């Protein structure tokens, strides 16, 4: 894969756009370190993203390609904006027999998020980094610029994306070790690493990462989830242990997958078992509408009580939202927004557990504890995944929850 050929005017425009991007990322507080600032100013993102997909808010994804003269300006503007750009699509089969959906399976995350996470690595010159999730190769290129290609190993589940990134990085004279494989396994042949960074969501800390992290090392990894936005910053505490806290920064990434043909990773949501169970109608004194908020700290706290749950809405005949739905692989619950009496709302639960009861309990606990912010939550993870947990305030305190989440 060769460099995207720019005209002389486009080269000057791209140079100015990188300088503008550096200024904007600095202004929003994402970029502080002069070395990372130089990397953003000098790495040509357009080489690594010759095309992307845009849905314009609809369900149809259209390619925006540097090779199309009519799209050239839009493409160049986009690659130097602080935007997440989808660079790969997969097919999600329909359970109802409808036309399969095209869904994002790869992206170049917005630069402000990328550089903020890189800064949280607190990497020093000549330290060795393992990156989980090569994607477009942009963050890989930034790492190569900062540390040198020989100190960077990057891994992605999609062999085609790895091959494309290899060619584009080579065009920039970057030659990191690139591997197509399962991110959870890491790359033991290059271990130990001083830093490990993931650009895909995980439900726990893979054992291999802990084992492959050297003494004094650090892991920066997002929690899988669409509402919580959790980012774990973990330091090596012992040969078999990392510990740290959730960072205040919100991050949203696609889940880590072990199969390139499964667009959204491990299955979540309600199983056919729950759908076939008898409905149990009841009431709640917790107003369901209060749960639909943008308080990501609340959603993270709820995730601790309902690992793997998904949340959605029910719709009335006119297509308006009229309730909240909660699903796990074994249970489901629906709570209607319309009250049926003073401080009383209707619920319907199915499956192996009464998960609305869990929602109520989690909410009351959260309020009783003073609505704790995510920075009060810590993580202790051993390489035995049966001994990984999240704790509140103190690892030996009264509140802890097991992983995976």
Q: Tens of pLDDT along 158-181?
A: 999 999 999 999 999 999 999 999
CATH at residue 295: 3.30.160
Same domain, yes or no: 240 and 184: yes
Same domain, yes or no: 305 and 160: no
Same domain, yes or no: 15 and 159: yes
More confident site: 185 or 274: 185
Q: How far apart are CA 325 and CA 337, in angstroms?
A: 11
The whole-model pTM stands at 0.92
CATH at residue 137: 3.40.50.150
At 76 the three-state DSSP class reads helix
The 10s digit of each residue's pLDDT in 61-92 is 888 999 899 999 999 999 999 999 988 887 76
Rounded to an integer, the average pLDDT of 180-208 is 97
Tokens of 157: 């589940």
**Radius of gyration for the chain, computed over Cα atoms and rounded to the nearest angstrom:** 23
Question: 101, exposed or middle or buried, with CB in 10 Å at 0-12, 13-18, 19+?
Answer: middle
**Residue 258 counted as domain residue:** no
Per-residue confidence (pLDDT) for residue 43, from 0 to 100: 97
Same domain, yes or no: 25 and 168: yes
Within 8 A by CB and 6+ apart from 42, the residues are 18, 145
Per-residue confidence (pLDDT) for residue 272, from 0 to 100: 47
Buried-exposed string 246-275: b where 16+ CB fall within 10 A, e elsewhere: bbebebbbbbbbeebeebebeebbbbeebe
Q: How far apart are CA 316 and CA 327, in angstroms?
A: 19
**pLDDT above 80: residue 99:** no
Active-site residue, from 109, 149, 154, 271: 109
Same domain, yes or no: 225 and 301: no
* Residue 112 pLDDT level (bands cut at 50, 70, 90): very high
The 10s digit of each residue's pLDDT in 332-388 is 888 888 889 898 889 888 877 789 999 999 999 999 999 999 999 999 999 998 999
- The sign one gets for the Cα dihedral 94, 99, 100, 104 is negative
**pLDDT above 50: residue 1:** no
Same domain, yes or no: 234 and 278: no
Contact, 187 vs 209, CB < 8 A? Answer: no
Question: Could you tell me where the beta strands, DSSP code E, fall in 109-259?
Answer: 129-132, 152-156, 177-180, 193-198, 213-222, 231-238, 241-246
Per-residue confidence (pLDDT) for residue 373, from 0 to 100: 97
**Residue 291 counted as domain residue:** yes
Per-residue confidence (pLDDT) for residue 277, from 0 to 100: 65
Same domain, yes or no: 169 and 279: no
Same domain, yes or no: 235 and 277: no
The 10s digit of each residue's pLDDT in 299-333 is 999 999 999 888 888 888 888 888 888 888 888 88
Same domain, yes or no: 225 and 364: no
Same domain, yes or no: 174 and 122: yes
Q: How far apart are CA 97 and CA 143, in angstroms?
A: 44
Tokens of 291: 């749960």
Per-residue confidence (pLDDT) for residue 224, from 0 to 100: 85
Per-residue confidence (pLDDT) for residue 2, from 0 to 100: 46
Is 109 a known active-site residue? yes
**Residue 156 counted as domain residue:** yes
**Residue 401 counted as domain residue:** no
The domain total for the chain is: 2
The 10s digit of each residue's pLDDT in 248-270 is 999 988 889 887 776 665 555 44
**Residue 47 counted as domain residue:** yes
The 10s digit of each residue's pLDDT in 198-250 is 999 999 999 999 999 999 999 999 998 767 889 999 999 999 999 999 999 99
**pLDDT above 90: residue 150:** yes
* CB-side neighbour CA atoms (13 Å) of 139: 31
Per-residue confidence (pLDDT) for residue 260, from 0 to 100: 76
Same domain, yes or no: 164 and 21: yes
**pLDDT above 60: residue 403:** yes
Per-residue confidence (pLDDT) for residue 352, from 0 to 100: 74
**Residue 391 counted as domain residue:** no
Q: How far apart are CA 222 and CA 237, in angstroms?
A: 20
Domain coverage including residue 241 = 8-90+106-246
Per-residue confidence (pLDDT) for residue 330, from 0 to 100: 84
Same domain, yes or no: 228 and 323: no
**Residue 192 counted as domain residue:** yes
**pLDDT above 80: residue 94:** no
- C-alpha pair distances (Å), 128 with each of 36, 279, 280: 16, 54, 55
Per-residue confidence (pLDDT) for residue 270, from 0 to 100: 47
**Residue 395 counted as domain residue:** no
């Amino acid at each position: 894969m060769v460099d995207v050929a720019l005209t002389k005017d486009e080269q000057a425009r791209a140079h100015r756009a990188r300088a503008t991007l550096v200024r904007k990322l600095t202004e929003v507080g994402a970029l502080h370190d002069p070395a990372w600032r130089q990397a953003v100013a000098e790495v040509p993102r357009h080489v690594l993203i010759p095309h992307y997909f845009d849905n314009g808010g609809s369900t149809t994804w259209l390619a925006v390609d540097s090779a199309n003269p009519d799209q050239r300006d839009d493409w160049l503007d986009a690659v130097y904006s602080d935007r997440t750009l989808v660079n790969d699509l997969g097919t999600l089969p329909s359970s109802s027999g409808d036309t399969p959906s095209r869904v994002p399976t790869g992206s170049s995350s917005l630069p402000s998020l990328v550089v903020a996470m890189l800064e949280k690595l607190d990497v020093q010159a000549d330290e060795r980094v393992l990156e989980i999730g090569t994607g477009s190769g942009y963050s890989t290129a930034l790492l190569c610029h900062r540390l040198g290609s020989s100190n960077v190993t990057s891994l992605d589940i999609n062999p085609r994306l790895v091959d494309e990134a290899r060619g584009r990085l080579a065009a920039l004279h970057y030659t990191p070790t690139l591997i197509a494989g399962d991110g959870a396994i890491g790359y033991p042949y290059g271990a130990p690493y001083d830093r490990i960074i993931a650009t895909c969501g995980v439900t726990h800390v893979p054992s291999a990462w802990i084992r492959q992290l050297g003494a004094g090392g650090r892991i920066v990894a997002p929690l899988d989830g669409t509402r919580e936005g959790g980012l774990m910053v973990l330091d090596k505490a012992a040969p078999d242990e990392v510990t740290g806290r959730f960072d205040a920064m919100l991050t949203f990434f696609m889940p880590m997958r072990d199969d390139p043909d499964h667009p959204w990773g491990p299955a979540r949501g309600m199983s056919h078992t729950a759908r076939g169970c008898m409905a149990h109608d009841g009431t709640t004194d917790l107003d369901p509408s209060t749960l639909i908020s943008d308080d990501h700290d609340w959603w993270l706290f709820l995730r601790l009580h309902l690992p793997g749950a998904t949340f959605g809405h029910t719709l009335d005949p006119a297509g308006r939202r009229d309730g909240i739905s909660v699903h796990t692989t074994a249970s489901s619950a629906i709570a209607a927004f319309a009250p049926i009496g003073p401080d009383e709302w209707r619920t319907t639960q199915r499956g192996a557990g009464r998960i609305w009861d869990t929602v109520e309990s989690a909410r009351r606990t959260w309020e009783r504890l003073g609505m704790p912010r995510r920075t009060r939550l810590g993580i202790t993870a051993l390489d035995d995944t049966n001994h990984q947990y999240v704790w509140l305030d103190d690892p030996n305190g009264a509140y802890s929850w097991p992983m995976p989440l």
